[in-house]
Structure formats: structure tokens, C-alpha cells
Structure 1
């Protein structure tokens, strides 16, 4: 359990939820929902990669 990076797990769960949200929005034929989920997915992934880069530079990974 010590090796789990909980922050990255939360980012991964958030990204997966947004991907599911895209599918739900497509099923509901909501263009606004699809757009919002795609934008949020990109934001979450961006924060995840940014955090990973910062942690690597700090030597935490």
C-alpha cells in the first residue's frame, strides 16, 4: 500500500469517469455534455501529467 500514489489514482478515476460521461452524453444526444466531458477530461489529464513531471523533477517518483 505504500507504493500507491493516491493522487494519480484519483486523476485516473476522474479521467475514467469523464470518458464514461462522454458515452452517456452521446447516448443522451447532448452535444453540450460531450463537449464539457471532453474539456474536463483534457484538464484532468493535463493536471496528471503536470503533477507527474513536477514530482519527477523533485525526485518523488
Structure 2
């Protein structure tokens, strides 16, 4: 059985919450909220992919 990489679980939960926030912002008709959630989603996904690449280079994946 593979070991759970908790940092990736954290990134996944953060990205999902950004997507939920985008939906809430659309429902509330908040352009600022929507844009901030999109920016946060891009940042979280970028950090997640860069962390995965670093771990692969280090041989931890």
C-alpha cells in the first residue's frame, strides 16, 4: 500500500475550496470574489505541480 502524501491532500482540498468559492462568487454576483478565487486556484495548482516536480527530482515519488 502506498503512503499518503498529506501535502498533496492539502493542495487538493485548497484547490477544491477555491472552485467552490468561484461558484459562490458567481451566485453572489461578486466579480472581485470570482477573480480572487481564480487567482488563488492558479496559485494553489502551481504550487502543487511545482512541489510534485521537486519531489520527483529528489526521488521521493
Q: In which range does the TM-score fall when normalised by the shorter chain?
A: over 0.9
- Report the equivalent of 1:42: 42
1:20 has 2:3 as partner: no
The Cα shift of 1:10 comes to: 0.1
Deviations 1:2-44 (A, max 9, x none): 6100000000000000000000000000000000000000000
Normalising to structure 2: TM-score of the pair? 0.97
- Report the equivalent of 1:51: 51
Runs of 4+ in 1 over 6 A off after TM superposition: none
Could you say what the CA RMSD is over the residues aligned between the two structures, in angstroms?
1.2
Normalising to structure 1: TM-score of the pair? 0.97
- SS of the residue 1:3 aligns to: coil
1:10 has 2:13 as partner: no
The Cα shift of 1:48 comes to: 0.1
- Report the equivalent of 2:33: 33
